[in-house]
Amino acid sequence: MRVKIHHEGTHILIILLAILLIINIPLWLWVRPYAIAASVSVVSAVFYLLVVNFFRSPRRQFHGNPENVVVASADGTVVALEETFESEYLKCRCIQLSVFMSIFNVHANWFPVDGEVVFTKHHPGRFMAAYLPKSSTENERSTVVIRTPEGQLVLMRQIAGAMARRIVTYAQPGDEASIEDHMGFIKFGSRVDLYLPLGTEIYVKIGDKTTGGVTEVGRLHPEAQA
């Protein structure tokens, strides 16, 4: 099966390949025994394939009922699911649903709901482990708010982790949001928080695995307001 690489990783993979070739070719030409060069080449190949795996970019479609659906914005593991107060934009109590992405997960991020982007903001910050609760407010992060066709507001927050050093957010105010489209990308280990209106029916629990753009994590109540 042909692997599609996300455009965010193209330059990184080219540069990394060049570096690995510069390291490995002289070993094969001048270092003996050949076992040393072979060992380094195997490690290099495994490392390169791990990075390729990180930047893979699958095209996905949601095949369920799209009405009021909330889909996972990221591949990973549910690490938080609780009622909390969202203080940046919504200014009300919401359901927080957080998914942690390891370096082995796809790191493209999908829109969680259909609608219109009404707010985006990038925040500089720290780079503590993304699974820690404080990472939601202290790490580098990017906030996106989407208004659904029914007028409900859903806030999505991309959070950098201990290894992540760049958050990419494609969404801009006025853009159309679709659960089948990429909203952004986070490089190397990170987390995505969703803030959903109280009354949203939740279909996952802590520890569950999610697939971005595919896993139905909840369904908005038609009369719930954020």
Residues annotated as catalytic (active site), given as ranges? 190
Classified as helix, coil or strand, 214 is: coil
Q: Say how far apart CA 154 and CA 144 lie, in whole Å.
A: 8
What residues have CB less than 8 Å from 168, skipping those under 6 apart?
Answer: 8, 184, 185, 186, 187
Distance, C-alpha 136 to centroid of its chain: 14
**Contact indicator for 20, 40 with CB cutoff of 8 Å:** no
Helices (H), the chain: 10-30, 34-54, 135-138
Q: Say how far apart CA 200 and CA 180 lie, in whole Å.
A: 21
**Contact indicator for 223, 199 with CB cutoff of 8 Å:** yes
User: Quick one: which of 155, 23, 133 has its CA closest to 88?
Assistant: 155
β-strand pairing of 182-186 with 108-110: antiparallel
Q: What angle do CA 183, 101, 159 make, to 5 degrees?
A: 60
Classified as helix, coil or strand, 120 is: strand
**Contact indicator for 131, 192 with CB cutoff of 8 Å:** no
